[in-house]
Amino acid sequence: MEQPHSRMSLSDPGVPTPGRMYDFFLNGRDHYPADREAALKVLEKIPEAHYMAHANRVFLQRAAGVIARAGVRQFIDVGSGIPTAWNTHEVVHTVNPDAKIVYVDNDPVVLEESREILRKRGETNAIYVDGDVRNPESILQHPEVRDLIDFTQPVGYMHIAIWHFVGDEYNPPGLIRQYMEAVPPGSYLALSHVTADKQDAQKVARFKEVYSNTPSGLHFRTIAEIARFFTGLNYVAPRDGVEADISYVDLWGSKNPSEVDPSHTWLPCGVACKP
């Protein structure tokens, strides 16, 4: 995420950004050598980071599908990154071809590349806008967002692996309340976030070290702190037969939960509905 006075660094190909590093982890092609170098340093110190990124993308796909099948016809995907294969709009459009999707990012390279990708694909119900997750009004009052999204109808928010790039000084739970207050009952929040709970302290330190060279840094939170993001919302059960609660990205929606190891992902997640 963009920090104050960091716009230049976001557009500087010599400075790695989390969004373009994520593209590398997902085997994408829209990143610079600096992003590749930083991502490889992560993999040297945290080999499971590649697995984490792919598990996180699968969670996005499963969550978007569940929310769309619940009848939500419009989505706002904040901190979306570059639309690699099977991004939110592609998943949602398999359920409802007329659904509307707003992607939000503030990396100039991501915005330029993503808008061109959508243009080439002829997408008419999916747009990319420049916005800052720390400033809900920059998104919710954006003219293009207001033109596409009907805020009297339920909205599906995709906040996938974005809040750990926002420090506590911005009060992330309070910001999420602002997002949820702007939409009616029946709206959803899908969220994943890195945690240091039950992880090796040395690996956590290595993670922080690598991301200290990015404009945003990396902010670990406990599962209890992540649960605060869902205050006032009703969890969707991660799968049949289990309690509706926080899960992990490789477990949520999995048909074979015994075959995955959540300790490898570091990423708790949840999907919840506004009552």
Residue 67: pLDDT above 70?
A: yes
Taking alpha carbons only, the member of 244, 234, 243, 237 closest to residue 275 is: 234
Residues 93-131 have pLDDT tens digits of 999 999 999 999 877 666 676 767 677 666 778 898 989
Q: What pLDDT does residue 51 have?
A: 82
For the entire predicted model, the pTM comes to: 0.85
What is the average pLDDT score of the chain? Answer: 86
E strand residue ranges, 35-120:
74-78, 100-105
Q: Cα–Cα distances in Å, from 171 out to 19, 133, 165, 175, 177?
A: 22, 12, 12, 6, 10
At residue 50 the predicted structure's pLDDT band, cuts being 50, 70 and 90, is: confident
Please name which of 237, 238, 263, 243 lies closest in space to residue 253, comparing C-alpha atoms.
Answer: 238
Measured between its terminal Cα atoms, the distance across the chain in Å is 30
- How confident is the model at residue 1, as a pLDDT? 35
State the virtual CA torsion across 138, 176, 90, 116 in degrees, nearest 10: 20
Quote the Cα angle for 163-168-173, to 5°: 60
Q: How many helices (H) and strands (E) does the chain have?
A: 11, 8
CA 78 to chain centre: 6
> Above pLDDT 70, what percent of the chain?
85
Lookup result for tokens 């080439």:
120
Smallest Cα–Cα separation from 140: which of 154, 127, 152, 151?
Answer: 151
What are the pLDDT digits (tens) for 71-87?
Answer: 999 999 998 776 666 78
pLDDT of residue 111: 67
Three-state DSSP at 3 gives: coil
Structure-token pair, residue 59? 């969670």
CA angle 140, 146, 149 (to 5 degrees): 95
Q: Is the pLDDT of residue 174 over 90?
A: yes
Q: Is the pLDDT of residue 8 over 50?
A: no
pLDDT of residue 265: 77
Of 103, 104, 110, 105, nearest in space to 126 by CA: 103
Q: How many CB atoms lie within 10 A of CB 112?
A: 13
For the record, the structure tokens of 217 come out as: 């840094």
pLDDT digits (tens, 9 = 90+) for 200-212: 898 888 888 877 8
Average pLDDT, integer, range 222-249: 96
Please tell me the number of Cα atoms within 13 Å of 221 on its side-chain side: 23
* Spatial distance between the Cα atoms of 34 and 29, rounded to a whole number of angstroms: 13
Query: How does 120-154 read in b/e, with b if 16+ C-beta sit within 10 Å?
Result: eeebebbbbbbbbbbebebbbebeebeebbeeeeb
On the question of pLDDT at 3 being above 50, the answer is: no
pLDDT confidence tier of residue 215, bands split at 50, 70 and 90:
confident
